[in-house]
């Protein structure tokens, strides 16, 4: 488990993954050499945001090698298609800097 307070500005972050859970609901994972780790708040609940710009603001003090937005579509499930062998994950590169900066 990685909490926001565990992040060290002196240590670069390999990859920040912003999961799009629903419209305007995002959850964060940090990727390192050991894999992906969900980011938690100090009260041990998963860090969530309703704004990507707030996520970028959170990571401003850190050196982030890459930041991506990741979404898995529920389209096939919603229209009754059978499970597919292929992954339908969409991953889009994000700039780690906020739009206003």
* Residue 12: HSE in the Cβ half-sphere, 13 Å Cα cutoff: 8
Mean pLDDT of the chain: 90
Residue 73 vs residues 30, 54, 63, 64: alpha-carbon distances, Å: 21, 23, 30, 26
pLDDT 10s digits, 41-63:
999 999 999 999 999 999 999 99
DSSP-derived letter for residue 87 is -
Per-residue pLDDT at 101 exceeds 70: no
- Tokens encoding 64: 């982030």
Q: Give residue 16's Cα distance to chain centre.
A: 5
Assess contact for 47 and 27: CB atoms under 8 A.
yes
Q: Kindly state the average pLDDT of the residues 31-41.
A: 96
């Amino acid at each position: 488990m990685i909490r926001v307070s565990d992040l060290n500005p002196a240590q670069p972050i390999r990859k920040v993954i912003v999961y799009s859970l629903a419209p305007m609901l995002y959850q964060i994972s940090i990727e390192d050499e050991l894999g992906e780790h969900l980011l938690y708040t100090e009260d041990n609940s998963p860090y969530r945001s309703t704004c990507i710009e707030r996520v970028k603001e959170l990571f401003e003090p850190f050196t982030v090698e890459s930041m991506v937005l990741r979404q898995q579509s529920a389209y096939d499930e919603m229209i009754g298609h059978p499970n597919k062998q292929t992954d339908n994950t969409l991953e889009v590169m994000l700039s780690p800097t906020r739009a206003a900066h």
